[in-house]
Structure 1
Amino acid sequence: MKKVPLWARLLACLLLIILLSVFGIKYLEGYSFLDALWFTVVSLTAVGYGDIVPVTPAGKIFTMIFTLFGIGFVLYVLGTGFAVIVEGRLSEVLGRQSMQRKISKLDNHIIICGAGRVGREVIERFQHDKIPFVVIENDESVVREMREQGILVLEGDATADSTLIEAGIHRARGLIATLPSDADNVFITLTCKELNPGIKVAARASREDSESKLMRAGADKVIAPEAIGGRRLAISILKPATVEFVDTILHDHRTEIEIEEIVVLSESPLVNKSIRESRILDKTGTLIIAIKREDEFIGVPRADEEIRANDLLIAIGTGEQLTKLEAYAGGNAVKEV
């Protein structure tokens, strides 16, 4: 059961005291409802105009009792209400200033525009991988919730230059536009590329015809969640075990298996060797599932495929195994596992 806020309980008690006083003095003195209400208000606020006064002994006793308790309670309600307002405003201001200081210290981070269903998936993944990021969201309740969770978030319009600058667009290495409106994502992409031409932008597209517009606007990658979801639904019926395995790798943070991208440096012993000659599987325990070479993708490379400098290896393995491969690709010798 949801707890009733303090201000609501105090207000209910105050109204109850007023109503009891109104009906009590009305009954004892025979006043009209309006006169009884007037007498109650001026008495509880300690104004006391004296135009209406009780004349019966019962009315006088009743007035003394409810005035003593009523005025004290009114002062308590007003004081508590004022404290809640001041503390709330002060907490909000201090919280925002603290958030801005933390964001100003971010460097090489990623900006997430929108904290809807798609944005929250991105946030969860970045939290798990400990990737520095800041969120831009215009829903006040969502912003409040995320701040309580310790997430760096700015309340504002992600399409505005000032908001992106405040989020550190000039220092960021990437931006993800997840807003439900394709037009907003196009505008964010254009603004982002204007402020930081070298930044990587991944954008969400709801409509098929929006993908080309986002690419023309400067997006490096465009994702259509609905299209991907449809294809996965189909595969989940045709190849359920495959989908379960992929879901385990991508979404189950408890599993040790991960997919990683690793760049082969020129000083690496892997350079100019075939996958068979490099003995990557024997030395690191990882499996190379693809190689990206400039604009070319080599999917499921053959054992005699030669590894070159600056190749991007896409490998699967445990965190420890992938760390070994990263060291191997970076130029360090690695013993067999």
Structure 2
Amino acid sequence: MIHLPLVRQGPLRALAVRMVAAVVLVLLAAFVIYADRDGYRDVNEDGLTMLDCFYYAVVSLSTTGYGDITPVTPDARLINILFITPARVLFLIILVGTTLEVLTDQYRNSLRVSRWRRKLKDHIIVCGYGTKGRAAISALLETGYDKSRIVVVESREVALRQAAANGLVAIEGNATRSAVLLQADVKNCKSVIIATDSDEASVLISLTVRQLTAGQVRIIAAVREQENAALLKQSGAHHVIVSSSTAGRLLGLTTTTPPLIDVVEDLLTPGQGMALAMRSAERAEVGRNPRELHTLVVALIRRGKVVALGGEHAETIETGDMLIYIRDENNSVAVH
């Protein structure tokens, strides 16, 4: 099931509201009739009881009208003209409106899903909307990624509602199943982020994605244990982040050299202070040493591999290199 971002109340809630309105209308009509019960004649000629009033209200509002109870006094007939007849019209509007509302919602939702599928391309699938999944999406949004190109796959109902409330498209189901990933159009996506709470589930998701896409989709995964990282890479993940060891290293840095953790957080937080960024090498920079540039370059990406700077061998920039540099977010310029 696909949960698009919430824009209005659901059909079940609308149905409940209309049912309550219909019941209130029947109760009000029954009490009005009971208050003027002497103005009505029953075929049994034994007077109207409260049950008779409810019966008359229901058959009148539903336009059944058996004729066994009829208004005979001018006051009773005036009440039928001024109250019962408008209430009957309102009751029919509630019933017909409920049916039309449900059908319209279903059609509108199908139309929105079809329109969403037509526009869906080069999107990112996030498997899991827990702490890691939400943080990954926040990082994507902070870097300017379009929210409409993010698809969440989650099986927990609470997480699904939260994702939809945050304006994200969420697909209900287990990401280890091929049918669920195909519903998210995994074959045409840009990358898959695996942020589940289980390393076993992460491995199964990675295997499933690799099988469905023939290894053409980039897979980024997080695992809890270091020993599972190699297994996840063997299953098809291109990048694996070990959350436990990474957190442990940060804890160690905080203990021994507290200022370093502030620098790391600053670099990883877009929009403030310093931030890591990447760009293509310009033509005028080819053949030069990265240390000679005004931009503070910390590494090069060459043919998909990281080229560290430093050491005895001086690296020069080649055509097609990507530069990893530090940018000053406050001034929107590179740090020199």
- TM-score w.r.t. the length of structure 1 is 0.71
Whether 1:75 aligns to 2:95 is no
Which of 6, 15, 22 is the matching residue for 1:14? 22
Deviations 1:163-218 (A, max 9, x none): 43454434445321113343332221111112222433222224566445423423
Secondary structure in 2 matching 1:92? helix
Contact 1:115 1:135 in 2 (8 A): no
Once structures 1 and 2 are overlaid, which stretch shifts more, 186-195 or 60-69?
A: 60-69
Q: Which residue of 2 aligns with 1:215?
A: 233
Contact 1:287 1:317 in 2 (8 A): no
Contact 2:163 2:169 in 1 (8 A): no
Structure with greater contact order relative to length (CA < 8 Å, sep ≥ 6): 2
CA distance change for structure 1 residues 213 and 77 in 2, over 3 Å: closer, same or farther?
same
Q: Which residue of 2 aligns with 1:325?
A: none
Note the 1:199-214 alignment, pairs <5 A. 199-206=217-224, 210-214=228-232
Secondary structure in 2 matching 1:285? coil
Contact 2:253 2:261 in 1 (8 A): yes
Give the drift of 1:117: 3.0
Task: Note the residue ranges of structure 1 that are not aligned, 5 or more in a row.
Answer: 271-277, 323-336
Once structures 1 and 2 are overlaid, which stretch shifts more, 228-237 or 120-129?
A: 228-237
Deviations 1:242-293 (A, max 9, x none): 323322221242446334376899x9304xxxxxxx2x344223142x5678
Q: Distance in 2 between matches of 1:141 and 1:295?
A: 38
The residue identity in structure 2 corresponding to 1:118 is: K
Q: Which residue of 1 aligns with 2:3?
A: none
Give the drift of 1:100: 0.5
Give the drift of 1:36: 2.4
Contact 2:295 2:326 in 1 (8 A): no
Which of 43, 52, 55 is the matching residue for 2:69? 52
Q: Distance in 2 between matches of 1:305 and 1:311?
A: 17
**Count of aligned residue pairs for this structure pair:** 304
Q: Which residue of 1 aligns with 2:327?
A: 317
Q: Which residue of 2 aligns with 1:329?
A: none
- TM-score w.r.t. the length of structure 2 is 0.71
Give the drift of 1:296: 9.1
Whether 1:137 aligns to 2:153 is yes
Contact 1:176 1:202 in 2 (8 A): yes
Contact 1:99 1:152 in 2 (8 A): no
Identity within the alignment, %: 23
Secondary structure in 2 matching 1:307? coil
Task: Note the residue ranges of structure 2 that are not aligned, 5 or more in a row.
Answer: 1-7, 38-46
CA distance change for structure 1 residues 236 and 50 in 2, over 3 Å: closer, same or farther?
farther
Which of 127, 132, 135 is the matching residue for 1:121? 135
Contact 2:225 2:245 in 1 (8 A): no
Secondary structure in 2 matching 1:284? coil
Contact 1:143 1:155 in 2 (8 A): no
Q: Distance in 2 between matches of 1:157 and 1:69?
A: 51
CA distance change for structure 1 residues 91 and 65 in 2, over 3 Å: closer, same or farther?
same
Q: Distance in 1 between matches of 2:308 and 2:15?
A: 62
Q: Distance in 2 between matches of 1:254 and 1:172?
A: 30
